[in-house]
């Protein structure tokens, strides 16, 4: 029983993995093997799973609901965009989700359809407000004004990713449509630094994780499957995770130093959710390594949608006032699939709905 009302109970808890109903008997009997040999009553059954390679799903004959279109789906895990490109061209894969730049060369391939879909991920630069010189809001404001976000998106995403000016993208409840758009203003940035008494501020990017920052699109899961027809087709899908997953416990760190002290900033890319509170996981728990901006949430989510929306917008206003965040993009997805099929997924394409895949109409 909840101690107080929670508006996000349905979309964060009940509608997510944490709300799944599992067989107590199966969990007790299989132990850790339950992760690879699950027991369930859904439209598909996992008939095989090979780590790092893929899995095979087969239509559940005992499923009481609507029968899925595809009898069998073979999932393939591919982390490299170039390998995915070649597999789509050869017919090995029938469906995949790529970054816009990786998908563009496939536009001329006969029999493939490219469909641009918005993402609900978010990418930002965060400043640690507890480390000098970022303890001074004027320094944070100066950094925000010194960065050319539009140029960063052109360089990092070939200009194909939309700019994000606040935490939540337009698809999520509480999107702050009127959020300010900060354009580069070097003169004002210098003025703010001078007022803060900071000079010779230097920033050196460093990545403590082996292998450095992955290219956009790396680390995504791909999948392939078969449809029940006279000729064999293959279906590709998967779970989209860009950069650092939403529940990651570490962050990429860049060291920033001035003549007076040393500070650190955090750059992180998160996979978001359909709930505003889920989207704020990486920024809303004071004291965590991913929340060096020290944003906190103390009030429960309101049940009234209008009041909840306003509460979320107000929280984003406070984040903007802190100047601890430089919002970059919520990225973009390009679905690439055979023209004879119709893919299906949840908003943002963070999960494929295989039982809703079907034939093109």
* pLDDT for the residue numbered 334: 92
Query: What stretch(es) of the chain map to CATH 3.10.105.10?
Result: 122-214+245-329
* pLDDT for the residue numbered 280: 56
- Asked if the model's pLDDT at residue 15 lies above 80, the reply is no
- Asked if the model's pLDDT at residue 170 lies above 80, the reply is yes
> Token pair for residue 270?
């998160």
* pLDDT for the residue numbered 263: 38
pLDDT, tens digit, 9 for 90 and up, residues 97-111: 998 889 999 999 999
More confident residue, 197 or 304: 197
pLDDT, tens digit, 9 for 90 and up, residues 114-151: 998 888 888 888 888 888 888 999 999 999 999 999 99
More confident residue, 165 or 251: 165
Contact call for residues 88 and 109 (beta carbons, < 8 A): yes
More confident residue, 353 or 7: 353
pLDDT, tens digit, 9 for 90 and up, residues 208-241: 343 333 333 332 333 333 333 322 334 433 322 2
CB atoms within 10 A of CB 128: 20
Q: Which CATH number fits domain 122-214+245-329: 3.10.105.10, 3.40.50.720, 3.55.30.10, 1.20.1250.20?
A: 3.10.105.10
- Asked if the model's pLDDT at residue 337 lies above 50, the reply is yes
> Token pair for residue 45?
């059954």
Query: What is residue 330's DSSP assignment?
Result: -
pLDDT, tens digit, 9 for 90 and up, residues 265-299: 444 445 455 555 555 554 543 333 344 455 554 44
Contact call for residues 264 and 255 (beta carbons, < 8 A): yes
Query: What stretch(es) of the chain map to CATH 3.40.190.10?
Result: 19-117+218-242+333-359
Residue 338: strand, helix, or coil: strand
Give dist(CA 225, CA 148) in Å, integer: 43
Q: Which CATH number fits domain 19-117+218-242+333-359: 3.30.420.10, 2.40.30.10, 3.40.190.10, 2.30.30.30?
A: 3.40.190.10
């Amino acid at each position: 029983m909840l101690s107080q009302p929670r508006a996000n109970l349905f979309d964060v808890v009940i509608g997510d993995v944490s709300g799944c109903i599992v067989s107590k008997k199966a969990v007790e009997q299989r132990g850790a093997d339950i992760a690879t040999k699950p027991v369930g009553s859904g439209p598909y059954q996992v008939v095989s799973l090979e780590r790092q390679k893929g899995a095979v799903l087969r239509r559940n004959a005992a499923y009481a609901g609507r029968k899925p279109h595809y009898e069998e789906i073979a999932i393939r895990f591919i982390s490299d965009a170039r390998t995915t490109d070649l597999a789509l061209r050869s017919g090995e894969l029938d469906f995949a989700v790529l970054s816009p730049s990786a998908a563009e060369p496939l536009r001329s391939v006969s029999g493939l359809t490219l469909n641009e879909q918005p993402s609900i991920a978010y990418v930002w630069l965060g400043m640690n407000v507890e480390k000098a010189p970022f303890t001074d809001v004027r320094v944070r404001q100066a950094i925000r004004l010194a960065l050319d976000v539009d140029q960063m998106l052109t360089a990092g995403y070939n200009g194909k990713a939309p700019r994000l000016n606040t935490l939540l993208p337009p698809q999520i409840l509480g999107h702050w449509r009127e959020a300010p758009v900060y354009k580069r203003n070097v003169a004002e940035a210098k003025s703010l630094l001078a007022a803060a008494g900071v000079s010779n501020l230097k920033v050196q990017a460093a990545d403590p994780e082996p292998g450095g920052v992955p290219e956009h699109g790396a680390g995504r899961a791909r999948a392939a499957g078969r449809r029940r027809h006279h000729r064999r087709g293959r279906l590709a899908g998967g779970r989209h995770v860009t950069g650092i997953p939403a529940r990651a416990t570490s962050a990429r760190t860049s060291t920033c130093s001035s003549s007076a002290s040393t500070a650190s900033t955090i750059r992180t890319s998160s996979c978001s959710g359909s709930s505003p509170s889920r989207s704020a996981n990486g920024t809303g728990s004071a004291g965590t390594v991913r929340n060096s901006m020290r944003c906190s949430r103390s009030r429960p989510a309101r049940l009234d949608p209008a009041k909840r929306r306003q509460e979320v917008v107000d929280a984003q206003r406070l984040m903007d006032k802190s100047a601890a965040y430089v919002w970059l993009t919520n990225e973009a997805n390009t679905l690439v699939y055979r023209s004879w099929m119709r893919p299906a997924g949840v908003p943002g394409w963070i999960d494929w709905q295989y039982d809703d895949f079907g034939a093109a109409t």
